[in-house]
Every structure is written in C-alpha cells, then in structure tokens.
Amino acid sequence: MYVEVFCYAGQGNDGSEPRATIMRGCDHFVEVEGLSHVQVAERIRADGINVLIDLTGYTINMQTQVMAIGPAPVQVSFHGFPGTMGAEFIHYLVADRLTTPPEHADQYTERLLVVPHTYLTNDHQQSRREVYVEGGHEEFGKAPPSSFLLLATLTLLREGELMVS
C-alpha cells in the first residue's frame, strides 16, 4: 500500500524540530499561510485529496472553516480535539476505547474509527497549550509552533487494524 501524504501548513516556518520532522515525513509540504479558507480548500481539491485529516479540531489555529467547505470526499478529525466536532462535514473521528467509548457512538456526529490501543500520544513535555486566566488573560503556556492541517491520499485501509463504529 502506498499513501501519498500532503501537509498544508497554516503558519510560517518557525524553525522548530517538530516542524522539520513533519516536513521530512511528507511527500508534499505546502505553505498556505495568508491564503483564505476558500483558497486552501481550492488547493486541496486541485491536489486531488481523497481523505482530509484535520489535526486541530476546535483548538488554537483551527482550520475548521476549510473542512466546512468540504474539499475532500472523506473528512476525518484526529488528535487535535478528542471529542465530537458536532459537524456533519466531518465524517469520521479517530478514537480509542478509553477516550471515546464505542458505546457512546450515538453521541457523536462522526462515525468512530476506533484504534486498538490509544491514539493520543502526548505528554507534558510535548504539550504546548495556551492557557488564560479569566479577566487577566495572562499567558501561562506557549502557543504551538505551527498549526498543521494534514491531508493524505489513502488507497487502502487494512482490515482488522481499526474498528468502524
């Protein structure tokens, strides 16, 4: 199976190692900073993306407006927000049994793609979140170095590796 990976970066290059790692791991790394949501969606369509995977969800620097335009036939939410997007234009949510118990699938607008163990690979050293105190808006965290919208052309999902609920 071959997967052609496109990554669309919504913010400029910050020179960080995580960004460099993502750039090296893609077949196509496309800078879309400064483009409108419509322009980004048009680029995605022009690139022939079959499966669009959003890594931001309802978090800082989200790209939900691009997903709302519907530039790909299959649209997936993964990792950025571990709950339902509550949006009919998101078809699937990558989940695990702990974070998103399959018995609660009826509470989600998305179909659940349940991975066998855990999909959430974070720890306190990797996490970069902005936290604000009500009223003072003092920043206690760092903004993420970049926001990425990862897009991939998937030709095959192997049976048995995930459960669709």
pLDDT band per the 50, 70, 90 thresholds, residue 78? confident
pLDDT digits (tens, 9 = 90+) for 33-73: 999 999 999 999 999 999 999 988 877 777 889 999 999 99
- Other CB atoms within a 10 A radius of the CB of residue 23 amount to 13
Cα distances (angstroms) measured from residue 165 to each of 21, 100, 114, 118, 131: 32, 11, 7, 16, 34
pLDDT digits (tens, 9 = 90+) for 2-25: 789 999 988 888 898 888 998 999
Average pLDDT taken over every residue of the chain:
76
Lowest mean pLDDT among 3-12, 31-40, 116-125, 149-158: 149-158
Grouping H, G, I as helix, E, B as strand and the rest as coil, residue 91 is: coil
**Percent of the chain residues topping a pLDDT of 70:** 71
Residue carrying structure tokens 């669309």: 8
By the 8 A CB rule, do 78 and 119 touch? yes
Grouping H, G, I as helix, E, B as strand and the rest as coil, residue 163 is: strand
Residue of higher predicted confidence among 139 and 23: 23
